[in-house]
Amino acid sequence: MVNSASKPSGLRPLVSVRGLSKKFSNGTLALRDVDLDLFPGEFVSLLGPSGCGKSTLLRLISDLSAPSAGTIDWPGAESADAYGKPEHSLGFVFQEPTLLPWAPTLENVTLPLRLKHMNAGEARDRAAAMLDLVGLKGFEKSYPRELSGGMKMRVSIARALVTEPKVLLMDEPFAALDEITRHKLNDDLLALWERNRFTAVFVTHSVFESVYLSQRVVVMAARPGRVMSEVMVDAPFPRDNLFRTSADYAHLCRLGSEALKAAIDA
């Protein structure tokens, strides 16, 4: 199953990364010659040790940072803005919830819509519906400081999804949470993904989390950051605790661990 040829074929990728390199001004080669296709509606995890450029790759895809070499194309994007960037198609969840501390929950979720000049009433309705979807109905008026770590992350996810993006980029979003909360959020994230079918790119350094969540695990190595291998996880959805305790899951996790070890030793 460790096989890079078994990508979904015959589909046009939504995002196509070719020969991507990123060199920081201090000379560090964060990424070297990365090729990666993201297909519509798939759930991909980027798995690797720290320093392998997973987060850098997300920042490049989201255009928050410019590549030193290589291209990122959006062949599957339907609309583009004046700069040729695909519009409304990205959501980003940071490692920290990154909420506006002075704004109540609902206002935090409406933020992306307000920045896109959507009228206030419609933005409010959509944000409220999104909050309901992440299980935070009734917390619209709470300030971030009144929420627990897991709840803040839910707000962050709601904010990322409120624009109905085609791609949701997540940079180790649950790394700071306890395991029980993380499992719960994993399940809820999968439910949201099955409902809305965005393309999910999930950065993590947990083999177990990556296998549980994704259809495809892209294993990366550090110094320089590069893609080493891929593990296809073709277990069916919906996945739940039954899957988490299955022999299949254990087997896939072992494959993932081996691929990760190979990447670390490389």
Q: Where does this chain bind other proteins (CB under 8 A)?
A: 59, 62-64, 81, 90, 92, 94, 96, 98, 100-103, 111-112, 114-116, 135-139, 143-151, 154, 163, 181, 184
Q: Could you tell me which of 65, 68, 58, 69 has the C-alpha nearest to residue 15?
A: 58
Cα–Cα dist 49/58, whole Å: 15
Exposure string over 230-254, b if 16+ CB within 10 A, otherwise e: bbbbeeeeebeeebbeeeebeebbe
Residue 44: CB minimum distance to other proteins, A: 19
Q: Of the two residues 128 and 233, which places its CB atom closer to other proteins in the complex?
A: 128
Are 255 and 231 a contacting pair, CB within 8 Å?
A: yes
Q: Of the two residues 68 and 181, which places its CB atom closer to other proteins in the complex?
A: 181
Residue 27: CB minimum distance to other proteins, A: 22
Q: Of the two residues 7 and 88, which places its CB atom closer to other proteins in the complex?
A: 88
Residue 101: CB minimum distance to other proteins, A: 5
Residue 7: CB minimum distance to other proteins, A: 27
Residue 151: CB minimum distance to other proteins, A: 6
Task: Pull the structure tokens for residue 130.
Answer: 């999104």
Cα–Cα dist 23/21, whole Å: 7
Q: Of the two residues 136 and 252, which places its CB atom closer to other proteins in the complex?
A: 136
Q: Of the two residues 159 and 226, which places its CB atom closer to other proteins in the complex?
A: 159
Q: How crowded is the C-beta side of 254, counted as CA atoms within 13 Å? A: 5
Q: Of the two residues 9 and 26, which places its CB atom closer to other proteins in the complex?
A: 26
Residue 245 has phi, psi (to 5 degrees) of -105, 5
Sheet of 15-23, strands arranged across: 29-38, 15-23, 69-73
Residue 264: CB minimum distance to other proteins, A: 28
**3-state SS of the chain: helix, strand, coil percent to 5?**
35, 25, 40
Q: Of the two residues 143 and 243, which places its CB atom closer to other proteins in the complex?
A: 143
- Measured between alpha carbons, how far is residue 100 from residues 45, 107, 234 in Å? 28, 9, 39
Q: List, in order, residues 6 or more apart from 224 with CB less than 8 Å away.
A: 29, 30, 31, 32, 53
Residue 210: CB minimum distance to other proteins, A: 22
